[in-house]
Amino acid sequence: MDKWNNGATELPLDRTPESRSPRESEKLYRSLFENMLNGFAYCRMLFEDGKPLDFIYLAVNAAFESQTGLKNVVGKKVTEVIPGVRESDAPVFEIFGRVATTGRPERFEMFLQALQMWFSISVYSPEPEYFVAVFDVITERKQLEAELGQARKLEAVGQLAAGIAHEINTPTQYVGDGVHFLKEAFEGYRRLASQYRRALEVLHAVGGQEALVAEIRQTEQDIDLAYLEENVPGSFASCEDGISRISTIVRAMKEFAHPDQKEKVPANLNQALQTTLAIARNEYKYVADVITEFGDLPAVLCHVGDLNQVFLNLVVNAAHAIGDVVGQSGGKGTIRIRTSKEETFARIDIADTGAGIPEKIRQHVFEPFFTTKEVGKGTGQGLAIARSIVVTKHGGALTFESEVGKGTTFTIRLPIGEESNLGGID
């Protein structure tokens, strides 16, 4: 049996096309059609008033069914097979209709919302109103491209952040040293002013210098000495607190922007989470209070820079989820971050008190390009990339539990030492 004929029948492949009988040619091309690795669909375009309305599947191969997950489509309209496809993916109808009308082949890449997949499609028309589409599913490639683009963008942002942090650090030290000097100087001034005040009382008691005493007391009133002595120390304390916060943010930026090693290295995940919270503070400070419950975690062998991105994505998502609930009310929700050791894994739970994830979309949460956020606020890549980092790159697991109206908890499990694999359970 000739393995190239898929065991169906012996075909004279060494003959020229002219020497084959029609039946032999039909068997050969049927074998080629069935065994193509590309998806293949032969369709008839349906028009209404000259506009592409629908199309009927006339023939598809096994690769079409395995790649798209669509079964028993021959003889059916695409709108019967995939309800709503015409509304969600109108551009593909326009392209198929144009090729079926003009006869000019086209090749394009497109994300089909109805199937939540990226396709590379070549389409041509053997005769008017008919077209053939040959395609590959390129969702994984597109996801890798998105991850690479995100990595490059983050690398550029990281370099910029590191530079900014370095530039901010020096003047911050100047300001900090200056405030510390002024605080000590003011304390000395207060001690000296107290002694001046005692001397003034003596001068007043001795008499003969009433004009000088009155001038000094008038000056005290003009500069509101009592107010200064009461409030200036608090102002210095506020300045020191502000400078301390700036220093914390600068250190966090430098740590966050530090280029990741090619190889995994031991890292303190509790510290990484603290760094992330400092970076993300502006996202959550108006809508949520953060509660941390850091357990006693050993150093975890990982790419900490990549995990910083995962933590940042989950914290920002939690803040947005809470923000959607509290709105402009001025109220606050809670983001709770807990770490613990679970056998040979480090466990990180990031919980929010948002609205929760509806049951009908939970299966799509980790899909590339899937997002429920408004245009311009979310790309649909964050959780897909996060899952890839945790599951594929670290052999861990990223899962979630959600209750509508109560909130969502995302759980990360990472092998502490050598790579493990939890299979990315959902």
The 3-state DSSP class for residue 114 equals coil
119-176 pLDDT tens trace = 999 999 999 999 999 998 888 888 777 767 666 665 666 555 666 666 676 677 777 7
Highest mean pLDDT of the ranges 194-208, 367-381, 386-400, 411-425: 386-400
User: pLDDT tens for residues 256-280?
Assistant: 655 555 678 898 999 999 988 887 8
β-strand pairing of 288-293 with 333-342: parallel
Confidence of residue 183 (pLDDT cuts 50, 70, 90): confident
Q: Does 226 have pLDDT greater than 50?
A: yes
One-letter amino acid at 44 equals R
Looking at residue 25, its pLDDT comes to 63
Report the alpha-carbon distance of residue 226 to residue 346 in Å, rounded. Answer: 56
Amino acid at 86: R
Q: Mapping DSSP to helix (H, G, I), strand (E, B) and coil, where does residue 262 land?
A: coil
Tell the residue number behind the tokens 């599913």, with chain if given.
137
pLDDT tens-digit map of 307-364: 888 898 899 899 999 998 887 777 899 999 999 999 899 999 999 999 898 888 888 7
Average pLDDT, the chain: 79
What single-letter DSSP state applies at residue 173? H
Provide the token pair at 35.
């065994």
Burial class for 114, CB neighbours closer than 10 Å (0-12, 13-18, 19+): middle
Name the 3-class secondary structure at 209.
coil
3 or 359, which is more confident: 359
List of residues 6+ apart from 273 with CB closer than 8 A? 292, 294, 311, 337, 339, 348
8 A C-beta contact, residue 93 and residue 102: no
Give pLDDT, residue 54.
92
Helical (H) or strand (E) element with 98:
helix 90-102
In order of 253, 279, 339, 372, 379, the CA distances from 177 in angstroms are 22, 25, 37, 48, 44
- Residue ranges of alpha helices (H) inside 299-358 are 304-326
Nearest in space to 380 (alpha carbons), one of 361, 367, 392, 391: 367
Q: Which domains does the chain carry?
A: 12-137 (3.30.450.20), 141-259 (no CATH), 261-426 (3.30.565.10)
Helix axes 269-284, 304-326, angle to 10 degrees: 30
User: In whole angstroms, what is the distance from residue 216 CA to residue 202 CA?
Assistant: 13
pLDDT at 128: 92
Q: Which residues pair with 67 in a beta bridge?
A: none
pTM of this structure: 0.47
Query: What are the φ/ψ torsions at residue 331 (nearest 5 degrees)?
Result: -75, 170
* Chain CA centroid to CA 246, Å: 25
Candidates 12, 7, 14, 96; CA nearest to 54 is 96
- The average pLDDT across 229-250 equals 76
Query: What confidence score (pLDDT) does residue 273 get?
Result: 93
Q: Are strands 265-267 and 288-293 parallel, antiparallel or unpaired?
A: unpaired
pLDDT (mean) for 288-294: 94
Question: Per mean pLDDT, which of 45-49, 158-162, 180-184 is the most reliable?
Answer: 45-49
pLDDT band at 186 (very low <50, low <70, confident <90, very high): confident
- Of 245 and 19, which is predicted with more confidence? 245
pLDDT higher at 312 or 11: 312
pLDDT (0 to 100) of residue 131: 94
- Pick from 135, 136, 134, 132: which is nearest to 44 by CA? 132
CA distance 390 to 394: 5
Alpha carbon separation from 194 to 29, 200, 217, 231 (Å, rounded): 105, 10, 13, 16
Strand order in the sheet with 288-293: 288-293, 333-342, 345-352, 407-415, 397-403
The least confident of 224-233, 354-363, 413-422 is: 413-422
Residue 185, pLDDT above cutoff 70: yes
Helix, strand, coil percentages (3-state) for the chain, rounded to 5, are: 50, 20, 25
What's at 237, amino acid-wise?
Answer: A
d(C-alpha 290, C-alpha 275), whole Å: 13
